[in-house]
Amino acid sequence: MLFRLTNSAGQPRYLQLMQQIRHAIESGALSDGDQLPSIRTLAEELVVSPGTIMKAYSELEHEGFITMHHGTGAFVCVSRRARRLGDRVQAARERVDELIGELRDDGLIDAEIRRLFEAGLLSAVRTAGKP
């Protein structure tokens, strides 16, 4: 199972890793019951702190995508809640892909599109009244 983390700022690494693992699960590269690499192995392979791996695995467990058995390791175990989440994310991705395609057709470059999304998220959060 090959993961890759980039050094780009802005997104904590554990979130990057979580996305990649979720993506692997959704795309079928990882199936139910598959064992994820141990924290030490993955840390060494990606050259990131074990704390990052630990955080990613914990959050994924919380979201229902994996379970961690003390002593044996982490296993993919997509719960129903996670599956629904996965479906929703899948649908959302399709919409985002469509929108991105349209924006590109309008002549915007990727960096501009990214910034628009960032700014939009931030102002949306404020107007929604969330902290």
Partner 1 sequence: MSGPTVIETMGLSKLYGRSYAVRDLNLTVRPDRITAFLGLNGAGKSTTIRMLLGMIRPSEGSGTVLGRRIDDPLESVALRKDVAYVSEDKRLYNYMTVEQMIRFTNGFFPGWHDDIANALLRRFELPAGRKVRHLSKGMRTKLALLLAIARRPALLILDEPSEGLDPHGVEQLLEALVAHCAEGTSVFFSSHQIEEVERISDQVCVIHQGRLVMDASLDELRESWRRVDVVLPGGAQVEDFQMQGVERVRTRGQQMSVVASGNVDSIVARASESGATAIDVTPVGLREIFLQTIEEN
Q: Which residues bind partner 1 (CB under 8 A)?
A: 7-14, 39-40, 43-44, 47-52, 55, 115, 118-119, 122-123, 125-126
Q: Closest CB to partner 1 among 105 and 128?
A: 128
**CA distance from start to end of the chain:** 38
Q: Closest CB to partner 1 among 90 and 123?
A: 123
Q: How far is the CB of 16 from partner 1 (least distance, A)?
A: 10
Instruction: Please tell me the distance from the alpha carbon of residue 106 to that of residue 49, in angstroms, as a whole number.
Output: 41
At 69, give phi and psi (nearest 5°).
-105, 120
Q: Closest CB to partner 1 among 26 and 43?
A: 43
Q: How far is the CB of 100 from partner 1 (least distance, A)?
A: 17
Q: How far is the CB of 83 from partner 1 (least distance, A)?
A: 28
Quick check: helix, strand or coil at residue 55? helix
Q: Closest CB to partner 1 among 43 and 89?
A: 43
CA 129 vs CA 117, 118, 119, 124, 125: distances in Å: 18, 17, 16, 9, 7
Quick check: helix, strand or coil at residue 127? helix
